[in-house]
Amino acid sequence: MPLPRLYPQPTTSLHECVISLGSNIDPERHAAEALNILSRECELVSRSREIITTPVGYQEQPNFLNAALLVRTRLDMSDFRDYLKGVEDRLGRVRGPIKSGPRTMDLDIVAWDGELVDEGYLQQDYVRVPVDELLAATGRDSS
């Protein structure tokens, strides 16, 4: 079954992407660096407030800083996903044996051109709360 649309298709020649941001290794610094990179290399439209959340899955780690970003890009979704993984790598992301373990940066596409593409939005408050705030602040309806 397809995932629901979060908001209407944007009327722009660029793709709109809602990103979930998370970090629990020096999170304030890494979030600021991620915002700086995305602001320079994409069109940063808006961002949510940052929230602090407890880990999901692996518990023996610090709390996470989470936020949502709305950006515009000329890249297609596959290329943009690869780009975000590259940004994570530039910020020192190490992908270890514990999938839900500590990380300098995690950037995931939640919605692409208004269409929900990540079920994490439906399942996890650390994704849904910042995304809903972002959508409300930018006049996009999350229903």
- Note whether 109 and 42 are within 8 A (CB): no
Cα distance between residue 53 and residue 110, in whole Å: 18
Reported pTM: 0.91
Query: Which is more confidently placed, 9 or 80?
Result: 80
**Has residue 88 got a pLDDT over 90?**
yes
Domain range 15-137, CATH class: alpha beta
Question: pLDDT tens digit string along 10-31?
Answer: 777 899 999 999 999 999 999 9
| In the chain, domain spans | 15-137
Question: pLDDT tens digit string along 107-116?
Answer: 999 999 999 9
